[in-house]
Amino acid sequence: MKSFSKMGVVFVTLLLAFGLIWPAGAVAENVIKIGAIYPLTGGAAAAGRELRAGVELAVELANNVMADVEMSMAKNGGITSMGGAKIEIIFKDHEGNPTLGADLAKKLILDDKVNGLLGCYHSSVTKTVSAVAEQYGVPMINGSSTSPALTTRGFKWFWRTTPHDVWFTKDLFEFMNGLTEGKVKGVTAVPKKDIMNLASACEKTEWGSFVSELIQQFAKEYGYDLKKSMLYAKESPDLSSEVRSMKASRADVMLFASYTSDAILMMKTMKAQKAQPKIIWGQDAGFEVPEFRATLGDSVVGVLTRTVFLPQVVQVKKVAGQVNALYKAKTGNDLTGASARSFTGLQTWVHVLEKAGSTEPAAIQKAANDLNIPGSELVVPWAGIKFSTSGDEIGQNTLGSGLIGQYQKAANGDIVLEIVYPFDVASADMIYPFPKY
């Protein structure tokens, strides 16, 4: 028996020496499972397709060597600190339903044994899914939900890469102030009285309700008069009364927080009722997906939307151009704010795993809290990714920033989004006021 035991020790030692087994803690994983929960059907399915495609492209770059792409994860062919382990994404469809999202998170954790979570676009779903992740001590990285409250809960297992709606809504009011000061490219200074009166219509969800509150807050802070502030039922079959109410307010500026189906219906209804504000601004989401411009055509020319990515970014960031070209070959579309953020969310997972060298939750947690991805690695025009570990916003990336784009018609007849804010990177003259129907 003793000689058998000695032989066993020698055998195990040889296996270790040749790297055929790994001791606990060293963690050599063949596959690292990430559960990605997105709206793949329902009113936000168009955005869901963009989100999924962004993640899938990031996985391709992470798992294969694509040395021409100027980001570190494209040069490794897997997670090098874990023996070249590959990432596997398990996609789930939450349908925009927070309860379903929570159930899917439990199944991914308990049945699929995922090492972490990614998602969920809708802030209301991210709220419930992240609560499940917190309960089970499973790391979750969020790339695309913007309700400010998500990072004020003191969670230890939740990190958000995207800027949130406080930043984006503040950008809107800075932009309007710049319009009155003559800072907007191609537009002479506009008297503040000409854009003083505002009206907003936001969907009645976790996200839309927060945006509505922020608009009220910033309107007061910046000295604008919010004549009408409404919350409407998401995926509404009819928005006629909301548009009539906004028209009746005689608002100069109309502001929206809507997912795809509502954004399209809102614009169709405004055109039918000949609503004619000077500025129309959408809080990304449905106002940026390809279906928005494809469905509405020339009607979107002049509409503003906040975002984190526009194709013009490729003019100043080579890596953005490289990834955008790959994405366009894959989907037929340019990257959008949704797909660029989901790509960046998965990219962040790659950096965290590389730094952790393990799928142990505690190692991932430490790696995420110590993370510092330089802006040169990212397709989005941010200074980088570094998460707050103290204060009021735990797990929030402190280095993000936003853009405001405007739909314009290019010389070849295509409808494109041009950058109008920040002012120093504007890619075209702004169309002001919003064209008459």
pLDDT in tens, 313-365: 888 789 999 999 999 999 999 999 899 999 999 999 999 999 999 999 999 99
Measured distance CA(138)–CA(142) in Å, rounded: 13
Summarize the confidence of residues 278-301 as an average pLDDT: 92
Residue 61 CB partners (closer than 8 Å, separation 6+): 69, 71, 73, 74, 323, 326
Is the CB of residue 44 less than 8 Å from the CB of residue 258? no
| Judgement on whether residues 153 and 259 belong to the same structural domain of the protein | no
Structural domain contains residue 349: yes
Whether residue 431 contacts residue 324, with contact meaning beta carbons closer than 8 Å, is answered with: no
In sequence order, what are the beta bridge partners of 201? 230, 256
pLDDT tens per residue across span 186-219:
999 999 999 999 999 999 988 899 999 999 999 9
pLDDT score of 17 more than 70: no
Question: CB of 285 within 8 A of CB of 45?
Answer: no
Lowest mean pLDDT among 15-19, 221-225, 287-291, 324-328: 15-19
112: domain CATH number is 3.40.50.2300
In a domain, 393, yes or no: no
Q: What does the pLDDT look like over 82-108, one tens digit per residue?
A: 999 999 999 999 999 999 999 999 999
Instruction: Tell me the two tokens of residue 256.
Output: 């929206």
Closest CA to 376 of 366, 387, 385: 385
- Report if pTM > 0.85: no
What backbone torsions phi and psi does residue 117 show, to the nearest 5 degrees?
-125, 155
Q: Alpha-carbon dihedral of residues 336, 338, 344, 350, nearest 10 degrees?
A: -130
Tell me the percentage of the chain whose pLDDT exceeds 90: 83
Residue 128: alpha-carbon gap to chain centroid: 18
Q: Is 395 helix (H, G, I), strand (E, B) or coil?
A: coil
Q: Map tokens 């913007």 to a residue.
A: 146
Considering the domain boundaries, does residue 12 fall inside one?
A: no
Question: In total, how many domains does the chain have?
Answer: 2
Whether residues 125 and 213 fall in one domain: no
Q: Print the domain residue range for 180.
A: 166-307+402-425
